[in-house]
Structures are given as structure tokens and as C-alpha cells.
Structure 1
Amino acid sequence: MPYFKFQEKKIFYRIRKVENRDALIFIHGSGENSNIWVDQLRLEIDYNLIALDLPSHAQSEEFKDLTLKIYSECVETLVKELDLNKVILCGHSLGGAIAQDVYLRNPERINGLILLGTGARLRVSPMILNSLKTNFEEYLESIPIGAFYRKTDEKIIKDYLAEVAQIPAKVTYSDFSICNTFDLLDQVKNGEITIPTLVICGVADKLTPLKYSKFFEEKIEKSELVAIKRAGHMVMIEKPEETNQAIKDFIINKFEEK
């Protein structure tokens, strides 16, 4: 599996290659890794499909400090290192925050955004932050209730928990701390996101409720919202077929030549 260098450290990424230099880059959320996108990496579109492990996550090397700036610069380095042409960023939760930040830092390099279960501001419950500091097992036990629709298949939840349990508690704590201070409300309100944007949200999402996604739909002129029923915060693994269809339709309608 490939790596690229960022600040002299190795960053892991998965890629499904095609002949051109267009790319859809998937950015995972807090305490997750690139494996969260396994269903989306099967998308049948003529784009390079790329999912990275953020610094200190899974197969990427450890970094001393983790910040939104570090994560955004890491994604920017990936785009540069692979010499990508047309780039669409797809981010979930914290990954959606990173995608917004990367675009606002480099509007000329990003052609589209796909924002899943995220917001322009991401406040985190003090209970989550406290459990990550004091009792990681308690945090893991709280995930099924908070992150998933109540009737989601137990195997999906079990597989997800196995992935997030591998990320050190201090890394996940850093991720949620970044979320807690993230705030681009003014930039989004002011219409600074001007590129085609797909917003996807599970109707039963408790962590980033549907109203967060409706805010994007209202304030981003070139946006469209797909609300997926019987799905929570982990919409792309709870309802992969619906998520993939929404992504495919968006790319075909907005970016493929008629």
C-alpha cells in the first residue's frame, strides 16, 4: 500500500487508480481511519478514489501535535504529491471540517465538496471529551447509541468499533478537541464556499443533526442536500448504497461533460 511524505513522516493512503488525474479524496472523522471508506472506494466513476489515514491514525506515522492546520496541510500535500488535476474532497464529521478548511485555504485547487454528517461549527459534548480523558472503554460503549440509527445492523456497529478501538485515546481526544473549536459559521454565512457542494446527512444523526446540513444547503448557493432515512452519523457505512448513489449522481451531474 502506498505512502507519501508529509513533514518528513509517512502518511498512508488507499487508492483505486484510473487513467486520468482527477480525484475524489475521502477524509475520515475523529478517531477513525481510511478503512471507513471501504464501500465508497468501490464507486464506479472515472476518478482516482483516494482515502488517507490522517497523521497519527492507523498506518500513518505519529505526530507530536495534531491541529486542524496540520490535517489540512496533510491533505494539501497529498494533492500536490500525486499531481492531481480536478479534485473533489469528501469529508465525514471532522473530515468535513478539514475539507471546508482546505477549500477556503486553496479555492483554486478544489473543484467540489462532499460534506457528510458535518457542520460549519462542531461543538462536542463535555461528556465525550471527559470519557476520552478518563475512561476510553466508556467512550467506546457510548458510540452505538450516539453514532448509529437504532436499527442499524449489529455487525456494522461491531466492525466500526473494532476500527476505532485501535486509535489511541489521546489521538481521538485531539480530534474531538479540534472539532470543538472548529467554527466557519461566518465564512459559510458569507457565501465563501462557491463551488458545487453535496451535503449528505442521516436523518437520525444525533451528533451532527440534520439542521447542520440544512444550514449548508441554505448558505451555499451551489449546494444540494441528500437526507438519508434510517441512518445516523455513520451514514456512509449504515447506508452505503444510498450514499454512493448520491455521490455518483452529484459527480455525473456537476462535473462530467454533457
Structure 2
Amino acid sequence: MPLLKYKDKNIFYQIKEAETEKWILLIHGSGGNSHTWNNQLTQLDTNSNLVAIDLPSHDQSDTFSELSLELYVDVVKTLINNLNVKEVILAGHSLGGAVILSYYFKYPSEVSALILIGTGARLRVSPIILNSLKTNFQEFLDGLPMGGFYRKTPKEIINQYLAETSKIAPEVTYQDFKICDEFDVMDKIRLINVPCLIICGTEDRLTLPKYSKFFKENIENSEMVLINNAGHFIMLEKADELNQAIKEFIKKL
């Protein structure tokens, strides 16, 4: 089981190695874990090393007393250094998008490309959702299928996600959403000067397609892929389409 030593804590990650110097690091969203990316780790063929991390306090990583965007970025930096990666392609979903954008703005020379999936330059969260997370986590879970997935998504896919997110402590998921709510880099997006792939589900009601369109309009070297009949969890709902979009993007780099 691959573990990264971060100070006195262990951080879990999954890795699929390839005979190449190209690396793609996958960062999950709020209340998620590295298994969010199982369809990419097992099926995505880009002739790249693939790494997916459990962020601090998530699933198989050790628990931290305080969580912050700065901590997440520093853990990612430590992992990249530990793997001796010189340039990395960063892929992030939702909260993971906030992590990779923050990483890019801090270490721009280390990033060769960005893949932004169901995310935004600002990620405000409804007070109703925050209150539900704080006071009645089961209510939040019960509402997730309707809010997070396309209405015709097979139940087994939804149940698979719910089983994974149920492994995460409610307080951790709440802190993740608070981090999202405070995230805002709208005034920096025009500074991005690496190739950027923007992916969003047409039925995403958590990070609306207009968030992705903002990226497309403000990042010069970018392309946007809208995936039909997909909600927020594209990696699970439409894995084949997502993998194809990433594969085509990586080919051009």
C-alpha cells in the first residue's frame, strides 16, 4: 500500500506506473477519496504515470486536526517531490479543482497542463447545504443523488459513490465544503498559461456549466468538453467519455 510520509502523518495514494516521464496527478472532490478515480486508474490509457491521492483525513490517509486548502496544496507538493516528478499534469474534480488551481498559482513552473473537471474559479456553497452537512449528514447524503447525479444515472453507480463518501467523517466533508465556499481565484484565471482541458456535465447542478464556460473564456490555451447526460460526478457517470476527452488532450501535449 503506497504511503507518503507527511511530517508525522501517512498519506495514502494509488499509482499506476508507465514507462514514461509523463505524470498525471488526480485530486478528488469534497468528501471523496482516491477511489473516485478507479475508472481512470484502470481504464485510462494515456501512456502516463497515474497517481490518485486520499487527501488528509480522507479514507486511508491519517486524520489531521485542521484542514485547509494550504494543507492540501502542501501535501500534493510533498507527494510530487517524493515521486521525483519534474513536471506534472494536474487533474482535479470540484474541490480538487481548487487544489490544483492553487497549486498552479504557487508553483507554475512545475505544472505542464491542467484538467479541470466539474469545478470553478469560485465555488460558493448554498447555506442550506452547509447547514445540512453540519446538523444532519444523513439528510445531505439522501439529497446527493438528486443534486449530484443526472436523473437517469444507474442506481449502482450512485450507490457506489455513496458507499465511498460514507467512509469520510461528516466533519471532514463539512470542512471540505467550507474550503470550497471560501475559494475564489476569479481575478487570477487569465494568468494561466499552460494548456487546460475543461470538462463539465451538461446536467451538473453543483458546479454549473457556466463555471466551465468562464474558464474557457478566460484561459487562452484551453478547450472545453461538455459531456451530455452527466451530472457532477462525471468520472463515475460517464467514465468512457471522460477518459476519451483526457486521452485526446494528452495526445496534443
Q: TM-score range, shorter-chain basis?
A: over 0.9
Q: Which residue number corresponds to residue 138 of structure 2?
A: 137
CA-CA distance at 1:85 after TM superposition: 2.9
Q: Which residue number corresponds to residue 36 of structure 1?
A: 36
TM-score (norm 1): 0.96
In terms of mean alpha carbon deviation, does 130-139 or 170-179 score higher?
A: 130-139
- Between the aligned partners of 2:126 and 2:5, the Cα distance in structure 1 is 34
Q: Which residue number corresponds to residue 246 of structure 2?
A: 247
TM-score (norm 2): 0.98
Query: Aligned-pair RMSD on alpha carbons?
Result: 0.7
Matches within 5 A, 1:7-156: 7-41=7-41, 42-156=43-157
CA-CA distance at 1:45 after TM superposition: 1.5
- Between the aligned partners of 2:6 and 2:53, the Cα distance in structure 1 is 12
CA-CA distance at 1:162 after TM superposition: 0.6
Per-residue CA shift, 1:15-37, capped at 9, x if unaligned?
A: 00112332100000000000000
Q: State the percentage of identical aligned residues.
A: 53
Aligned pair 1:204/2:203, yes or no?
A: yes
CA-CA distance at 1:220 after TM superposition: 0.2
CA-CA distance at 1:235 after TM superposition: 1.0
Q: Which residue number corresponds to residue 2 of structure 1?
A: 2
Per-residue CA shift, 1:178-223, capped at 9, x if unaligned?
A: 00000000001xx111100000000000000000000000000001
Equivalent residue of 1:39, what SS? helix
- Between the aligned partners of 1:238 and 1:158, the Cα distance in structure 2 is 12
- Between the aligned partners of 1:85 and 1:227, the Cα distance in structure 2 is 31
Say whether the 8 Å CA contact 1:86–1:111 is kept in structure 2.
Answer: yes
Amino acid at match of 1:23: W
Equivalent residue of 2:56, what SS? coil
Say whether the 8 Å CA contact 1:30–1:93 is kept in structure 2.
Answer: yes
Gaps of 5+ in 2: none
CA-CA distance at 1:173 after TM superposition: 0.3
- Between the aligned partners of 2:169 and 2:187, the Cα distance in structure 1 is 33
- Between the aligned partners of 1:19 and 1:232, the Cα distance in structure 2 is 34
Gaps of 5+ in 1: none
Amino acid at match of 2:218: K
- Between the aligned partners of 2:7 and 2:214, the Cα distance in structure 1 is 35
- Between the aligned partners of 2:147 and 2:168, the Cα distance in structure 1 is 18
Say whether the 8 Å CA contact 1:21–1:83 is kept in structure 2.
Answer: no
Per-residue CA shift, 1:80-103, capped at 9, x if unaligned?
A: 000013310000000001010000
- Between the aligned partners of 1:196 and 1:210, the Cα distance in structure 2 is 20
Say whether the 8 Å CA contact 1:23–1:85 is kept in structure 2.
Answer: no
Q: Which residue number corresponds to residue 238 of structure 1?
A: 237
